[in-house]
Amino acid sequence: MGRYLVAASPIPGHVLPMITVAGALRQRGHRVRMLSGAAFRDTATDQNLLLSALPAEPAIRPTTSRHGPRVVRRWRTGRAELRSAFLAPLAAQYAALVTELGRADYDAVLVDSMFTGAIPLLVSGGARPPVLVCGVGPLTLCSTDCPPFGVGWQPVAGRDYSAMNTFVRQVLFRADQARLDAAIRQLGAGSASVFLLDWPVLADRLLQFSVPGFEYPRRDLPHSVVFTGPIPGPAVAETALPPWWDALMTGKRIIHVTQGTWDNGDLGHLLRPTLAALGRRSDLVVVASTGGSRDRLGPLPANAYVRKYVSYPQLLPHVDVMITNGGYGGVQQALSYGVPLIVAGENADKPEIAARVAYTGSGIDLRRARPSSAVIASAVDQVLGDKRFRIAAQRIAAEISRSSPFDTIAAVLEEFGATPAVRHRDCPPVSDIAAGRQRNSP
């Protein structure tokens, strides 16, 4: 049996899938330790996992620029997020990672795609166990076939985006790349050698927690990328049904709306306008999940029911449309049940997730974080009135049903065996990947 270290950035949408993977490995008989924020110790304990706490750092907060054209807002937001979520925690994450590696002989390290503390380990040239990056959000890697990550644009078939990506790297984010290289040099590990958002290509594998059908086609996808399928929610006992559950069994159409568990400090972004848009309709039942937000939702219309958290295996089989700010896990859970989506999100990776929903035809990208009630009502009518949205969602659901994420992850780990720093025979050296020896997407 193997011994694995699983490191996750202290953000719920990153920690939960990583803890789920760690729990699945433990159930297969492996020894697994988590490295993440102390606030997630109880979550790890629920999965019978030990957790080493990262040093206390300022909490990573949602960032949104509200001024200027959307592309300018996205650049400003992206720059702020890179600095706060990718660059600021790097040194502390690296120190914690090295400390843990010094305590035990791990057969492999799994880190989420925001855990940049792994970068110095990857570029230092020293002995290390295999490192696998886990894609808990959309692929960030630059591609000639895709617009730069973060702008939320869908690719146009046949267009070459090389020049646009070069401009983003060398002009818009030049200063941030310099910050990354300076941070790594201060740790005595050289330089990154790749653009900040491309750093997962340095790892031995990139386990993308999705299916190819929910990603843009790329002819230059690196050899190291493995699509595992979405990670299901943590295994928990089925919750007791709320007293209003019978209202969902009356044949009325059901809309589910959520702002997730992270960017939900102001429920006026999405929940309140949704309730205003749909509250007077007799043919709909609205189920809202506040995700534990401290914000008060206010008066509820007669057809709306609210819970802090909702069991998706119980709810989603009955849902006709899901309205969300675009969390990667929640969106893919909806798609796994063939539920079409309406997405409104402006920070982090949410514009990219929304764009993929629109690109696949499985829903509507509202291209804003604060849609009006009129915009929401129109989008709901559009999705309910056009069966092509559900057909597209069901197509992705069928692909997801054919995936087996935990088996795939276990198989990848078995490729490396128990010998540190052994690279899989079919995976080209990191230098070759970075230089462009890449393959067609599946």
DSSP output for 377-410: HHHHHHHHH-HHHHHHHHHHHHHHHT--HHHHHH
| Residue-wise pLDDT tens digits, 273-308 | 999 999 989 889 888 887 767 777 778 889 998 888
Average pLDDT (120-125) is: 93
- At residue 423, the pLDDT reads 36
User: Same structural domain for residues 300 and 263?
Assistant: yes
Does the pLDDT at position 442 exceed 60?
no
Q: Is the pLDDT of residue 427 over 50?
A: no
d(CA 75, CA 73): 5
pLDDT number for residue 369: 82
**Are residues 256 and 194 part of one domain?**
no
The pair of three-digit structure tokens given for residue 335, joined into one six-digit string: 């798609």
Same domain, 377 and 412: no
Q: Which among 260-264, 284-288, 424-428 has the top mean pLDDT?
A: 284-288
Name the residue with tokens 């990191």.
430
Tokens of 94: 């690296």
Q: What is the pLDDT of residue 92?
A: 94
State whether 351 and 423 are in the same domain. Answer: no
Considering Cα of 414, then 417, then 420, then 422, what sign does the dihedral take? Answer: negative
Question: And the tokens for 242?
Answer: 């709320």
Per-residue pLDDT, averaged over 155-163, amounts to 96
Q: What is d(CA 379, CA 286) in angstroms, rounded to the nearest whole number?
A: 15
For residue 70, name the pLDDT band (cuts at 50, 70, 90).
low
- In this prediction, residue 380 carries a pLDDT of 97
Query: How open is the CA angle 421-422-425, to the nearest 5 degrees?
Result: 145
Q: Is residue 238 part of a domain?
A: no
**Angle between helix 350-359 and 328-336 (nearest 10):** 20
* Better pLDDT: 87 or 65: 87
Does residue 108 have a pLDDT over 90? yes
Burial 94-127 (b: 16+ CB within 10 A, else e): bebbeebbeeeebbbbbbbbbbbbbbbbbbbeee
Q: What is the pLDDT at residue 54?
A: 94
Domain membership flag for residue 134: yes
Is residue 402 pLDDT above 70, yes or no?
yes
Burial class (CB in 10 A: 0-12, 13-18, 19+), 83: middle
Q: Is residue 237 part of a domain?
A: no
Q: What is the pLDDT of residue 206?
A: 98
Long-range contacts from 99-106, C-beta under 8 angstroms, 24+ separation: 100/5, 100/7, 100/33, 100/35, 100/52, 101/5, 101/128, 101/129, 104/3, 104/5, 104/33, 105/3, 105/129, 105/420, 106/3, 106/4, 106/5, 106/420
Cα separation, 237 vs 246, whole angstroms: 20
Residue 193 included in any domain: yes
Mean pLDDT of 254-283: 85
pLDDT for residue 65? 52
In a domain, residue 104? The reply is: yes
Domain presence at residue 332: yes
Q: How confident is the model at residue 58 (pLDDT cuts 50, 70, 90)?
A: low
Within 8 A by CB and 6+ apart from 166, the residues are none
**Which residue would you say has higher pLDDT here, 179 or 438?**
179
Q: What percent of the chain has pLDDT over 90?
A: 64
pLDDT-derived band at 422, boundaries 50, 70, 90: very low
Residues 75 and 171 reside in one and the same domain: yes
Q: Closest Cα to residue 160, out of 147, 169, 173?
A: 147
Instruction: Please tell me whether residues 253 and 150 are part of one structural domain.
Output: no
Torsion region of 299: left, alpha or beta (phi above 0 gives left; psi -120 to 50 gives alpha): beta
Residue 97 lies in a domain: yes
For the residues 392-404, what does the mean pLDDT come to?
98
What is the value of pTM for the model shown?
0.88
pLDDT at 424 over 60: no
Residues 252 and 215 in one domain: no
Name every residue whose Cβ is closer than 8 Å to that of residue 346 and which is 6 or more positions away in sequence. Answer: 64, 73, 74, 77, 368, 369
211 and 350 part of one domain = no
Identify the burial level of 253 via C-beta atoms within 10 angstroms of its C-beta, where 0-12 means exposed, 13-18 middle and 19 or more buried. middle
Which pLDDT score, from 0 to 100, does residue 74 have?
A: 65
What per-residue confidence (pLDDT) applies to 407?
A: 97
CATH code for the domain of 302: 3.40.50.2000
pLDDT band at 71 (very low <50, low <70, confident <90, very high): low
Looking at the structure, do residues 333 and 285 belong to the same domain, yes or no?
yes
For residue 104, the enclosing domain spans: 3-229+403-435
Whether 84 and 101 share a structural domain? yes
- One domain, residues 195 and 259: no
Please tell me the least confidently modeled range out of 39-43, 132-136, 367-371: 367-371
The count of domains in the chain is: 2
Does residue 204 form part of some domain? yes
Closest CA to 381 of 327, 320, 325, 339: 320
The reply to whether 85 and 153 lie within a common domain is yes
